[in-house]
């Protein structure tokens, strides 16, 4: 179930990035001259999307790496660390 949720969040993260860029461009076009506002708004939307979605992507990537580490440890048949007992 966790993997399904992680994949869903990953997909929604990409969708959120696109939405942020488009919304930034539309708001910029509405506030300033259409072409210039569209470009400036798109750039600002891209920066916001990179920050917000970048943080989410980092969390998703960390989850994936921790899952792979856990699976590798389970396959290695090593005893668990003392803190896990």
Report, as an integer, the average pLDDT of 65-81. Answer: 83
Q: Sort 48 into a burial class: Cβ within 10 Å, 0-12 / 13-18 / 19+.
A: middle
Lowest model confidence (mean pLDDT) among 6-10, 23-27, 45-49: 6-10
Q: Which residue has the tokens 């210039």?
A: 36
Q: How far apart are CA 66 and CA 76, in angstroms?
A: 15
Does residue 13 lie in a domain region? yes
Report pTM: 0.72
Q: How far apart are CA 17 and CA 10, in angstroms?
A: 11
Q: How confident is the model at residue 21 (pLDDT cuts 50, 70, 90)?
A: very high
Does residue 81 lie in a domain region? no
Whole domain around residue 54: which residue ranges? 2-75
Segment 26-71, tens digit of pLDDT: 999 998 888 999 999 999 999 999 999 999 999 889 988 998 998 8
79: helix, strand or coil: coil
Q: How confident is the model at residue 84 (pLDDT cuts 50, 70, 90)?
A: low
Domain count, the chain: 1
pLDDT at residue 85, as a whole number = 55
């Amino acid at each position: 179930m966790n993997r399904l949720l992680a994949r869903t969040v990953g997909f929604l993260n990409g969708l959120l990035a696109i939405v942020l860029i488009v919304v930034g461009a539309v708001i910029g076009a509405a506030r300033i001259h259409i072409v210039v506002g569209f470009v400036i708004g798109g750039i600002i939307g891209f920066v916001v999307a990179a920050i917000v979605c970048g943080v989410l992507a980092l969390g998703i990537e960390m989850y994936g790496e921790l899952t792979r580490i856990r699976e590798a440890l389970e396959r290695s048949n090593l005893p668990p660390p003392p803190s896990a007992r």
